[in-house]
């Protein structure tokens, strides 16, 4: 990586954070800041310079996709326990990109119509078109996370879904979409603090749901479900990354760095003109 | 208006720019900056403070919409000749709002499926949900603009569409959506300069389309079509605004001011908690 926003990284974030062989979620410290050689202030500066880089790379990606030379797009899948900071990533990292180049899909509790279809039906419809950065705020992984923890589906069906997800994501990859899957990892104590803040501030009450406390009791079950998801669905074509997220500033630059790396690997180029530039200048001048 | 970003306006932008009785597009100078008592530098500062205000107002709108106390949303309809700056408005004005609160729809040349339906079919599907700022980059007005200029529909059908649009927009308004229709108005000379810049910069070639020069020859016909659109579809529930756009900085603060005014009139409030805050604090602390 050579971009200025990435000068404070020791190693490549995609390598450092990727779920590989023998990964254990329990070994990840949610308060750590792996690979980043700087603090909150430096991170803020890097986030700003990274924002400009990300914006330009996306515009190039879009421009190149118009030329039909490529189908490339990027898909960021965000999963996390409540209050882990998905919203902050979308606002502060994704929000720096021209809205015309972003396709955001927030997946809520499935509707009756969605439940009548396979779990991937609603996902397929929201895949990013060429040139876009797609962002999934929750995703098909809900169907193997809360789906497992709350027994919304049987064990056989959950098992089937891991395989279906891998095949689906492979097809997505073959079509030109680079998928980056991110779990924002916070600790239960950090979550308590963040939920408490929502209770203490009247302008945050609307974000609080009493059900959040009930979910906290299931924390170990959720962590087990994530561990299984990582073992079964971290593939070469759609790897998982666990981003320690107790420090919001770290989570933000880490996810930004993952996006920057993905775009730099695509290395989109401004497409050449498909018309005679000088002739068009003459036509335009005469018009 | 009381917000700090609006202190340099003399009069309300919505009044100054609104298409009312006897409006003549031909009388609007695309280089003018009506009502704004400042220059480019001041406008840049105002745009920044306005961005923060817009972001907070949208978040309040979203929060209030979750409480079921309101269905309110805002819809910005952008129409313009090519290169007039729609993209810049989306990037620099809309882009300051949290992406989670924006629903952007870019309407291109209709597909075969869309053409098989009434022209409002594809529009209805992209209306913003409560709490969102919807943005239409082109819209159903293409069907009475290029539709008329290029005779894509007969005179009777165009006539029918004006009425259909008014009824449609009334229904949208009654459902809680505040529609702001904006035509960005540039001069043919300004357009020539902007298109020439696209030809001169290799990183802008992808934005240039030789068909743009052909459309320039139809400029007077387009202006006539816009004039008719204004006469037939500027209604109390969905008024048109003509924003002089030769100065990009003016167009941006003007559209931002229109959005701010609309949101200030809705005056969204943080909703009250629907749970016992103290009891939840105790539950959370014990969890």
- Stated as kind and residue range, the H or E segment containing A163 is helix A155-174
Query: Which two structure tokens, joined as six digits, stand for A121?
Result: 């039906």
**Distances in Å between the alpha carbon of A202 and those of A35, A73, B61?**
37, 40, 15
At B129, the pLDDT band (50, 70, 90 cuts) reads very high
- pLDDT, average across residues B231-259: 98
* Structure confidence at residue A245 (pLDDT): 98
Q: Closest approach of chain A CAs to the CA of B101, in angstroms?
A: 10
ipTM over 0.90: yes
* Structure confidence at residue A244 (pLDDT): 98
**Distances in Å between the alpha carbon of A200 and those of A203, A208, B201, B235?**
9, 10, 53, 44
End-to-end CA distance of chain A: 46
Alpha-carbon gap, residue A238 to A49, rounded angstroms = 27
Query: Which two structure tokens, joined as six digits, stand for A170?
Result: 């492979």
Q: With contacts defined as CB-CB under 8 Å, which chain A residues touch B135?
A: 99
pLDDT digits 0-9 by tens, B33-56: 999 999 999 999 999 999 999 999
Average pLDDT over chain B, rounded to whole? 96
**Distances in Å between the alpha carbon of A13 and those of A36, A137, A250, B172?**
9, 21, 11, 47
CATH number of A235's domain: 3.40.50.300
* Structure confidence at residue A4 (pLDDT): 67
CA quadruple A134, A138, A142, A145: dihedral sign: positive
At B69, the pLDDT band (50, 70, 90 cuts) reads confident
* Structure confidence at residue A7 (pLDDT): 85
Quick one: how far is CA A129 from the chain centroid?
Answer: 16
Alpha-carbon gap, residue A274 to B285, rounded angstroms = 64
With an 8 Å Cβ cutoff, the interface of chain A facing chain B consists of 63-64, 66-67, 87, 90-91, 94-95, 98-100, 102, 104, 106, 135, 137, 192, 195-196, 199-200, 202-203, 205-208, 210, 213, 216-217, 270-273, 275, 277, 280-281, 283-285, 287
For B59, the closest chain A residue by CA position comes to: A203
pLDDT digits 0-9 by tens, B176-220: 999 999 999 999 999 999 999 999 999 999 999 999 999 999 999
CA quadruple B281, B285, B286, B287: dihedral sign: positive
The residue among B199, B219, B277, B278 with the most chain A CBs within 10 A of its CB, best to mutate, is B199
pLDDT digits 0-9 by tens, A211-246: 999 999 999 999 999 999 999 999 999 999 999 999
pLDDT digits 0-9 by tens, A114-135: 999 999 999 999 999 999 999 9
Instruction: Find all residues with CB under 8 Å of A97, minimum gap 6, and list them.
Output: A54, A55, A58, A133
Query: Which two structure tokens, joined as six digits, stand for B54?
Result: 């817009």
* Structure confidence at residue A69 (pLDDT): 74
* Structure confidence at residue B67 (pLDDT): 83
Query: Which two structure tokens, joined as six digits, stand for A247?
Result: 């420090």
At A167, the pLDDT band (50, 70, 90 cuts) reads very high
- pLDDT, average across residues B116-131: 97
pLDDT digits 0-9 by tens, B78-117: 999 999 999 999 999 999 999 999 999 999 999 999 999 9
* Structure confidence at residue B1 (pLDDT): 47
CA quadruple B76, B79, B82, B83: dihedral sign: negative
Closest CA to B149 of B220, B83, B80: B220
Q: Closest approach of chain A CAs to the CA of B227, in angstroms?
A: 23
Alpha-carbon gap, residue B80 to B243, rounded angstroms = 10
> Hey, is A279 helix, strand or coil?
helix
User: How many domains are there within chain B?
Assistant: 1
At A3, the pLDDT band (50, 70, 90 cuts) reads low
Q: Name beta bridge partners: A240.
A: A181
Task: Give the structural domain span for A69.
Answer: 3-286
């Amino acid at each position: 990586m050579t971009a200025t926003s990435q000068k404070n990284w020791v190693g490549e974030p995609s390598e450092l954070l990727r779920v590989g062989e023998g990964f254990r979620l329990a070994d990840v410290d949610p308060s750590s800041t792996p690979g980043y050689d700087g603090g909150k202030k430096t991170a803020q500066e890097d986030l700003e310079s990274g924002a400009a880089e990300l914006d330009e790379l996306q515009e190039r990606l879009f421009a190149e996709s118009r030329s039909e030379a490529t189908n490339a797009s990027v898909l960021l899948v965000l999963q996390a326990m409540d209050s882990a900071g998905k919203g902050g990533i979308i606002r502060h990292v994704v929000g720096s990109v021209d809205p015309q180049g972003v396709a955001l899909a927030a997946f809520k509790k499935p509707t009756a119509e969605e439940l009548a279809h396979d779990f991937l039906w609603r996902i397929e419809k929201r895949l990013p078109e060429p040139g876009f950065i797609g962002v999934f705020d929750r995703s098909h992984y809900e169907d193997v996370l809360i789906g497992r923890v709350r027994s919304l589906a049987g064990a056989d069906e959950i098992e089937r879904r891991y395989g279906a997800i891998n095949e689906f994501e492979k097809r997505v990859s073959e079509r030109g979409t680079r998928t980056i899957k991110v779990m924002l990892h916070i600790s239960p104590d950090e979550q308590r603090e963040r939920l408490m803040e929502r209770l203490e501030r009247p302008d945050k009450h609307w974000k609080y749901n009493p059900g959040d406390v009930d979910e906290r009791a299931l924390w170990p079950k959720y962590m087990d479900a994530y561990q299984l998801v990582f073992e079964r669905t971290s593939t070469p074509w759609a790897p998982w990354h666990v981003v320690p997220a107790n420090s919001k500033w770290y989570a933000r630059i880490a996810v930004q760095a993952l996006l920057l790396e993905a775009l730099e690997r695509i290395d989109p180029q401004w497409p050449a003109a498909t018309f005679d530039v000088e002739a068009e200048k003459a036509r335009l001048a005469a018009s």
